[in-house]
Each structure stands twice: as structure tokens, then as C-alpha cells.
Amino acid sequence: MLQRNQLHEYQERAVEWIKTHKSCALFLEMGLGKTVSTLTAIAELKEAGAVSSVLVIAPKRVAERTWTDEIERWAHLAGLTAVKILGTPAQRLKALSTPADIHIINRDNVAWLDKVLSVPLKPFPFDTLVIDELSSFKAYGTQRFKAMKHLRTRFNRIIGLTGTPSPNSLMDIWSQLYILDGGERLGEYITKYRQTYFTPGRGRGHIVYEWILKPWASDAIYERIGDICMSMRAEDYLSLPPVNYVNVSVGLTDKERKEYRDFKRDNVLPTADGVITASNAGVLCGKLQQWTGGAIYTEEGAVAPTTPAKLERLKEMLEEIHTPVIIAYHYKHELARLRAEFPQSKTIDEAGVFDAWNRGEVPILLGHPASIGHGLNLQRGGHTIIWYTPTWSLELYEQFNARLARQGQTERVTIYHLIADGTIDQRVLSVLARKSTIQDALMDELKADSPTKPQRPSKPQPTATRPLAVAISSPRTPPPF
């Protein structure tokens, strides 16, 4: 087992941050050990009598194993007991009533938990809340956030953890900070936050599609939240082989290019079984992505084939790659076709696959970014990721890549993007690159002092050419977006 003195210096700093702040956020990039740092702080606060019972809210797969796995790995955490509030409602109720230092629940059951714990006169069982992947509560209109808004008032301590605090824009920060401080720093209402720090951009009538930061707003936001939010970037602390990003061009025939262009222009795609239409721009974007992947859903929910180009290019790549790979897909019909084409492939849901992958026994692991996006340590099983269909979400993109590009990885990680020439695939990657600049600025501004680099100026530096923030060391090989 690992010993307490094996924690890294930056993890010790994270431990102290938690211990000295009743409400705080750790914006730690993937691979910096958010879980063990938090567990260490909990163990020491418990020993000091400052904490008695902890609730951890996490993504499903993280709730299933990551927190208990870390407890089992470290000797100084052996005294902590943990119970998982998972399964059927009856199983969850039984787990909730089982005594333990830490109770761990899937974030999708937060509304259920709020209802169960709202029974009048029944004592509240927890004094400390840990939210693993705080950014998953960024959508302030969801039931998940509304339940957390009610629950948060009943805890003495709140700890928020994420590596991607602002995956889209600084608009994402408001709800996360509200959970920590009840609106003390950024206001009690999202409307007021928008009016204070943003101006309306694109819109139609009274509906605004885009909010643009006022020139002074980012600095003001950083200053408001800096006393309880600490950021660490993996490049400052980890010594990992640099990540290699490769765009793999997928050529289309003249006929395929014409079909794609006509569909994009007319929003209508004739097929052997009828006509597929896209009713608006959002639907069209999804349909175009499906098209480049090789098939598209019809109006009746069937699957119509489009181009085999991307699948054929993937087969060629796998003939040249002789190490285990993770392939990121997006649509269910992609998974079905990948399973049919590569019968040796596995998904993380299958029994024993997690451990088999880390033993190097799974040649192809198929994963949706939302299912292999948080908490899973897969770095021992391989060092190659292929994005069959790129995602629009910077958070899912970075989290998925960090399953391999993280501490413990001994090989250079290569991340391939399959890009159909002249299609929406190229647009997706350019959008990801733009989103990364907002998040990079936030992470830099709230950064703990790096032990290896001089402290940066108080204002964020221009980031227009900065590559995506992933768990790699400097110098970096920028993604070719």
C-alpha cells in the first residue's frame, strides 16, 4: 500500500487548502490526484474532530469504484469506511442508513436524496459535502442543480472538485460558485450575474443565444472567487511524456462530397428508404456528424448508411497500430457498426473489462465520452486514443483524453482525430480550441504557486494560440486544430 509520505508536494497543498477552507473548490487538472488529496484532508479533519460524516456526489462510474479504490490503495486512509448509495431505491435506502465515514452517491440520484432527506424532524446525517466533478452542476435550470441548491444549506463544509470549471465560458462558473457560497461572491441569481458581467450577443427578439464577457469582467470574476478557488495545471507539476495530437484526414469521393454539400445546403438528404430532413441548424449539425461517421438516423428511427470512408480509414489505422487503443464514438449506430467490424472490441460496461484493459488484455476499448469521461484510471492499459467522432464538449474531450494522459502513464500518449475532409468534423475541433482559451485563462488566474515555474502576472495573458489544456508536461506538442 502507498504511504502518507508518498503524497506529492502539490497534493499536500491541496490537502491544506481543503482543511483551511470550510467552502472551497479545487480546480485540479486531470491526473493531479483530486481524490486522494480530498480523502487525506477528510481523514485528518475527522481525526481532529472537525468532520464526522461525509457525502460524496460523483459521476456513476466514479461513485462505483474510484473513491473506494483510493481508500484501499493508501495506508493512511485504511481507517475510513465508505458505503455506496447505489442500485434500486430500496438498496439506496439501506445504504443510506448504514453507518460509515463516507457515503458515495451517483449525481443522478441527487434529487432522490434531497427528497429522502427532507423528512421533517429527521436529523440530517451529514456535515460535509464533496462534489466530484462540480462542473456537472453548471446547468442551473436542471433538477440536479435545484436539488443541490436546497441540499447545500444543510452542510457545514462543501468541497467542489473539477478539472474543467468553465468548459464553455465563464457563464458556467455561476452555478458552481452558488453551490459553494450561496451566491455570496457572484450573486444569488443568474440573471443578475449575466447583467453584471456579460452583454447580449447573437439572439432573436428577447431570446439571447450568446452572452459576451464585458472587457473587464474576467478579471473581476477571478478576483471575486479567488479566495475559495485554487487551480493547479498538470503541466506545472507532472512529468509525463508529451501528448502527440494527430489529425487523420479521411478522403471522400466526388459523389460523397456532393451529397454532403447538398445536404448541408438544402437540409434534405434522399436515401433508399425515403427522405431525411433537418428542421433547424441544431438538428442539421447532428445529422452532418452522423453522416461523416457512416450512417444517419431516418425519420422513423432506422439507420441509413452514408459513407464507409471513416470506418475504412480506421481499419487501416488499426492494421498499423499494434498496441491497445480506445476509440471514442458518439452515436449508438456507430457503436453497433464498430462492434460488428471489430468483434474483439469491448466496452467498459462489460464485466471485468476495466481490470483486463489495465492488464493490457483488451486490444480495442470502445467508449462514449460521457461514460469514460471522469475518474477512471486507464493509463496502465494503453497510450492511444482515436476519436472516431469528435465531441463539441471541451469538458468531455479533455476528461476522455485524460484517462490515458495522466500520472502513472509511462508511454507517450497519441490522440488521433478522424476528420472527414471538408466536413463539420473540422468545425468541431476549431470550436474546442476556442473554448479552451476561456478555461485556460481561469485556471491560470486561480493557480496555486507552481514549485517549478515563476508566478504569472495577476491578469491572464493572451491565450489565442494556447493548445487545449490536457495533462501533459511542457514543452507541449499542440493539437493541430
In the predicted structure, residue 449 carries a pLDDT above the cut 90: no
* pLDDT, average across residues 5-18: 94
Let me know whether 314 and 194 are in one domain. no
Average pLDDT, the chain: 86
Does residue 166 contact residue 29 with C-beta atoms inside 8 Å? no
Let me know whether 307 and 210 are in one domain. no
Concatenate the DSSP letters of all residues of 103-129 into one string. Answer: EEEEGGGHHHHHHHTT-TTPPP--SEE
* pLDDT, average across residues 372-396: 86
pLDDT band at 208 (very low <50, low <70, confident <90, very high): confident
Contacts of residue 177, defined as CB under 8 A and 6 or more positions apart, other chains included, come to 25, 183, 185, 186, 225, 229
Let me know whether 79 and 205 are in one domain. yes
Number of domains composing the chain: 2
299 within some domain:
yes
Residue 481 is predicted with a pLDDT of: 43
Q: How far is CA 276 from the centre of its chain?
A: 33
- Of residues 17 and 268, the one with the higher pLDDT is 17
Size of the chain in residues: 481
Q: How far apart are CA 53 and CA 103, in angstroms?
A: 8
Q: Of 38-42, 110-114, 194-198, 467-471, give the lowest mean pLDDT range.
A: 467-471
Residue 273 is predicted with a pLDDT of: 66
Residue where a domain stops, chosen among 232, 264, 286: 232
Q: Beta 102-106 vs 82-85: how paired, if at all?
A: parallel
Does residue 29 contact residue 443 with C-beta atoms inside 8 Å? yes
Let me know whether 209 and 282 are in one domain. no
383 within some domain:
yes
Residue in the structure block whose three cell numbers are 442543480: 145
pLDDT digits (tens, 9 = 90+) for 17-49: 999 999 999 998 767 889 999 999 999 999 999
203 within some domain:
yes
Residue where a domain stops, chosen among 171, 206, 232: 232
H helices of 97-240, in order, are 110-116, 143-151, 173-181, 190-197, 217-225, 234-237
Let me know whether 273 and 379 are in one domain. yes
Residue 216 is predicted with a pLDDT of: 95
- Of residues 7 and 276, the one with the higher pLDDT is 7
* pLDDT, average across residues 404-423: 88
471 within some domain:
no
Let me know whether 182 and 256 are in one domain. no
Let me know whether 216 and 268 are in one domain. no
237 within some domain:
no
Let me know whether 227 and 250 are in one domain. no
169 within some domain:
yes
Rounded to two decimals, what is the model's pTM? 0.66
Residue 445 is predicted with a pLDDT of: 73
pLDDT digits (tens, 9 = 90+) for 319-337: 878 889 999 999 999 999 9
70 within some domain:
yes
197: CATH? 3.40.50.10810
pLDDT digits (tens, 9 = 90+) for 111-164: 999 999 998 778 999 999 999 989 889 999 999 999 999 999 999 999 999 887
Residue 374 is predicted with a pLDDT of: 64
290: CATH? 3.40.50.300
Residue 119 is predicted with a pLDDT of: 84
Residue 480 is predicted with a pLDDT of: 41
Give percent above pLDDT 70 in the chain. Answer: 91
Let me know whether 228 and 270 are in one domain. no
Across-strand partners of 207?
204
Residue 455 is predicted with a pLDDT of: 37
In this structure, the dihedral spanned by the alpha carbons of residues 271, 277, 281 and 284, taken in order and rounded to 10 degrees, is -20
Range of the domain at 98: 4-232
Let me know whether 157 and 252 are in one domain. no
454 within some domain:
no
Q: How far apart are CA 97 and CA 214, in angstroms?
A: 49
Let me know whether 254 and 329 are in one domain. yes
Q: Beta 346-347 vs 325-328: how paired, if at all?
A: unpaired
Residue where a domain stops, chosen among 232, 256, 291: 232
Let me know whether 260 and 351 are in one domain. yes
Distances in whole angstroms, Cα of residue 466 to Cα of each of 31, 74, 311, 325, 436: 20, 36, 31, 27, 8
